[in-house]
Chain A
Amino acid sequence: MLSVEADLPATVTLAAHPSQSVRAGRRLSRHVPGLLLRLVVALVYLFLLGPIVVIVATSFSPTHSMAFPPPGFSFRWYGAFLHSDSFTAAFQFSLELGLCASLIATLIGFLTAYAARRLMTRSGGVVQSLAMLPLLIPHLLISISILLALNFVPLPDFASLLAGHVLICTPFTVAGITASLDGVDAQLETAAMTLGASRLRAMLEVVVPLVAPGVLSAFLFAFVVSFGDVYIALFLAGPGTTTLPIEIFSYVQWQSSPVIAAITTVQIAMIVVLGLVIERLVGLRRIMRV
Chain B
Amino acid sequence: MLLAFITPASVLYALFLIAPVTFFLAMGVMRYDAIQLYQPVPTLANFARIILDSYYRDVVVLTLKIAALTTVLTLLVGYPVAYLLARGRTAWRGILMFLVIAPLMTGEIVRTYGWIVVLGSEGLVNRCLLALGVIAHPLQLLNTQTAVVVALVHILLPFMIFPLISSLASQDPDLVRAADTLGAGRIRSFFEVTLPLSRTGMMMGSLLVFTLSAGAVVTPALLGGKDVTMLGQTIYDLVLHTLNWPLASACATILLALQLGFISLQLRANRRALRRG
A: residues with CB less than 8 A from B are 1-3, 30, 33, 37-38, 40-41, 44-45, 47-52, 54-55, 58, 65-68, 107-109, 111-112, 114-116, 118-119, 127, 130-131, 133-134, 136-142, 144-149, 151, 163-164, 166-167, 170, 174, 199-200, 221, 224, 227-231, 234-235, 245, 248-249, 252-253, 256, 260-261, 264, 267-268, 271-272, 274-276, 279, 284-285, 288-290
Most buried by A among B80, B186, B248: B80
For B211, give its contact among A118, A138, A289 (CB under 8 Å): A138
Minimum C-beta distance from B152 to chain A (A): 13
18 A-B contacts, Cβ less than 8 Å apart? A45-B81, A49-B103, A54-B124, A66-B120, A116-B6, A130-B13, A138-B212, A138-B252, A140-B252, A141-B215, A145-B17, A149-B23, A228-B106, A245-B109, A252-B109, A264-B106, A271-B102, A290-B166
Closest 5 CB pairs of A and B: A228-B107, A51-B114, A138-B215, A145-B20, A115-B5
Given A49-B103, A51-B117, A252-B116, check contact A37 B12 (CB 8 Å). Answer: no
Question: Which chain A positions have C-beta within 8 A of B232?
Answer: 138, 140
Minimum C-beta distance from A113 to chain B (A): 9
For B187, give its contact among A33, A108, A264 (CB under 8 Å): A33
Question: Which chain A positions have C-beta within 8 A of B2?
Answer: 115, 118-119
B117 touches A249 (CB 8 A): no
Q: B113: CB under 8 A from chain A?
A: yes
Tell me the complex Cα distance, A144–B245, Å.
10
The segment from B42-50, B88-96, B192-200, B269-277 found at the interface with A is B88-96
For B239, give its contact among A54, A147, A271 (CB under 8 Å): A147
Given A140-B217, A231-B217, check contact A111 B118 (CB 8 Å). Answer: no
Within 8 A of A (CB), among B1-56: 1-3, 5-6, 8-9, 12-13, 15-17, 19-21, 23-24, 27, 37
Minimum C-beta distance from B37 to chain A (A): 7
Given A3-B90, A33-B186, A268-B110, check contact A275 B17 (CB 8 Å). Answer: no
User: What is the predominant secondary structure among interface residues of chain A facing chain B?
Assistant: helix
Given A115-B2, A145-B23, A267-B110, check contact A68 B105 (CB 8 Å). Answer: no
B117 touches A261 (CB 8 A): yes
Tell me the complex Cα distance, A131–B9, Å.
8
Question: Which chain A positions have C-beta within 8 A of B98?
Answer: 275-276, 279, 284
Encoded as 1 (CB less than 8 Å from any A CB) or 0, chain B from 150 to 173 comes to 000010010000100110010000
B162 touches A48 (CB 8 A): no
Question: Which chain B positions have C-beta within 8 A of A130?
Answer: 13
Question: Which chain A positions have C-beta within 8 A of B157?
Answer: 44, 48
Question: Which chain B positions have C-beta within 8 A of A264?
Answer: 106, 110, 113-114
Tell me the complex Cα distance, A130–B17, Å.
12
Given A2-B90, A261-B117, check contact A228 B109 (CB 8 Å). Answer: yes
Complex: chain A residue closest to B102, CB-CB: A275
Question: Which chain B positions have C-beta within 8 A of A127?
Answer: 6
Complex: chain B residue closest to A38, CB-CB: B84
A144 touches B154 (CB 8 A): no
